[in-house]
Amino acid sequence: MTIITRFPPSPTGFMHIGTARTALFNWLYAKRNKGKMLFRIEDTDRARYTPEAVDAIINGLKWLELDWDGDIISQYERAPRHIEIAHELVKMGKAYYCYCTPEELDAMRIEAKAAGRPTMYDRRWRDRSPSEAPEGLKAVIRIKAPLTGESIVYDRVQGEVKIDAEQLDDFIILRSDGVPTYMLAVVVDDHDMGVTHVIRGDDHLNNTFRQNVIYESMGWTIPTYAHLPLILGPDGTKLSKRHGATSVEEYRDMGYLPEAMRNYLLRLGWGHGDDEIIDTEQAIEWFNLEGIGQSAARFDFEKLNFVNAHYIKLADNARLAGLTVAILKKSGIDATPRAISMMTERMDELKSRAKTLVQLAEDARIFLLGESYDFDEKSLKQLDEFGKKVLLVLHDNFKTMENFTAEEIEKLCKGTADYMADGKLGKIMMPLRAALTGRTTSPSLTHALETLGKDIVLSRIQFAFKQAM
């Protein structure tokens, strides 16, 4: 049997981190078993539908480097098939027309409540003949849910989950305006797509009991279910904006690498002993449903940074250079080819210090800046009277240096510190760093200076000097 999983997001406008994890688990399970992951957009909510929202999901998957098999399927476009099944269920005696008006349903609920009975639909049309149908009213189609016994979901994560059949109502599968309900659409699509494994968030577990009623009524094979516990924020409440970024795009923009994100999301709810660093190749080899935890996972930003730093160190220098240039371009820094090659030369050091690409880009500024650049407030503070004096002295000394090497530069700075700042090297380096970067952090300054070369260093000092006045 070929294992077929599916990724069926609703296009909400962005890709939530929980949705990304669901995609990853389905993808890994398919890859692990040499199966397929199909991709369906659940785009039936036309009021909310926009092509941009669909693109956000597609771009999220692409950024995460998760591919899918076959064409993207639109649930909306499959409505005729959903409708066909609704009518087939009626013909089979498994579903029926219900002609209740909203007012009638309200009255029924109020009455049930007053009598202390459950307020769900009381099945008044279940056994009535459609010949009794009031004229001019459009019916909904409701499924006949079992009246007695237990309804059981065998879940590969949660185990056996049971509810009494009494808790199930004869829910609507086709609305009176002819629009199929979500419950029906999902089952028909999963069946037609040959889905064998449904791996999704446990917020859908309740739907599963209902969906199984449809499977059973049609005599279709129920897929294997694995419902993933929620993702919580660090404080144990449901992950939300309050905790920080919740969408995949935000993580991309904060400078996380896709492979780091995959590793981190994998560990968010799935485990293999104490292993934290699990690259994708290894994950494909190991991934199974047994490793999914039963309790909700907490998002841990520090761990994500740790994992990201690991993958940044492993990443190819030219790739990192490209990503860094793109980040700095957004802040108006257009790097020249020469500047890019200087940065690439120092990439081993740059990447050893960075937890995110944004941090790396901040450090790489020193190589990529052009003739004019901005100074942040902290760096301007370094360019006070004393700072300017330091710059003047260094400028004159650098100018006469013959070997502009890190070693010689360091010697010179130490000498300057001795006579200007009681040997405190930091007092000399801070204004120099501020002058060269417009910031107060940088990678090893002396090595960076050597890479930049004397001309650039001198002209930056001159530029900074003017900004300070």
Which positions touch ligand GLU (CB under 6 A)?
A: 8-10, 42, 186, 200, 204
Cβ atoms 340, 368 nearer than 8 A: yes
C-beta nearest to ligand GLU: residue: 200
As measured in angstroms, the least distance from the Cβ of 8 to ligand GLU is 5
As measured in angstroms, the least distance from the Cβ of 230 to ligand GLU is 12
As measured in angstroms, the least distance from the Cβ of 141 to ligand GLU is 21
Cβ atoms 18, 203 nearer than 8 A: no
Cβ atoms 20, 52 nearer than 8 A: no
Give residue 123's region: left, alpha or beta (phi > 0; psi -120 to 50): left
**Comparing C-alpha atoms, which of 15, 32, 270, 14 is closest to residue 5?**
32
Give the whole-angstrom CA distance, residue 113 versus residue 165: 20
Question: Residue 10 or residue 441: which is nearer to ligand GLU going by CB?
Answer: 10
Q: At what angle do helices 182-192 and 205-218 cross, to 10 degrees?
A: 60
Give the whole-angstrom CA distance, residue 438 versus residue 366: 9
As measured in angstroms, the least distance from the Cβ of 10 to ligand GLU is 4
What SS3 state is found at 457?
Answer: helix
Amino acid at 314: L
Cβ atoms 121, 105 nearer than 8 A: yes
Amino acid at 89: L
Q: Give the H/E segment covering residue 23.
A: helix 17-32
Question: Residue 231 or residue 430: which is nearer to ligand GLU going by CB?
Answer: 231
Cβ atoms 444, 382 nearer than 8 A: no
Question: Residue 10 or residue 224: which is nearer to ligand GLU going by CB?
Answer: 10
Give the whole-angstrom CA distance, residue 430 versus residue 464: 13
Candidates 62, 138, 238, 241; catalytic one: 241
241 is annotated as an active-site residue: yes
As measured in angstroms, the least distance from the Cβ of 19 to ligand GLU is 6
Question: Residue 6 or residue 346: which is nearer to ligand GLU going by CB?
Answer: 6
Question: Residue 205 or residue 323: which is nearer to ligand GLU going by CB?
Answer: 205
Identify the DSSP state of 16: B
Question: Residue 204 or residue 272: which is nearer to ligand GLU going by CB?
Answer: 204
Show Cβ contacts of residue 271 under 8 Å, excluding neighbours closer than 6 positions: 291, 293
As measured in angstroms, the least distance from the Cβ of 200 to ligand GLU is 4
Question: Residue 216 or residue 345: which is nearer to ligand GLU going by CB?
Answer: 216
As measured in angstroms, the least distance from the Cβ of 150 to ligand GLU is 23
Cβ atoms 233, 11 nearer than 8 A: no
Show Cβ contacts of residue 146 under 8 Å, excluding neighbours closer than 6 positions: 165, 168, 213
Question: Residue 42 or residue 408: which is nearer to ligand GLU going by CB?
Answer: 42
Give the whole-angstrom CA distance, residue 360 versus residue 320: 9
Give the whole-angstrom CA distance, residue 307 versus residue 207: 35
Cβ count near 337 (within 10 Å): 7
As measured in angstroms, the least distance from the Cβ of 186 to ligand GLU is 5
Q: Which two tokens stand for residue 407?
A: 């070693």
Q: Which two tokens stand for residue 421?
A: 């700042």
Amino acid at 78: R
Cβ atoms 72, 40 nearer than 8 A: yes
Residue showing tokens 């929202």: 53
- Count how many residues are written for the chain: 469
As measured in angstroms, the least distance from the Cβ of 194 to ligand GLU is 15
Question: Residue 204 or residue 427: which is nearer to ligand GLU going by CB?
Answer: 204
Residue showing tokens 């129920």: 222
- Residues with a catalytic annotation lie at 241
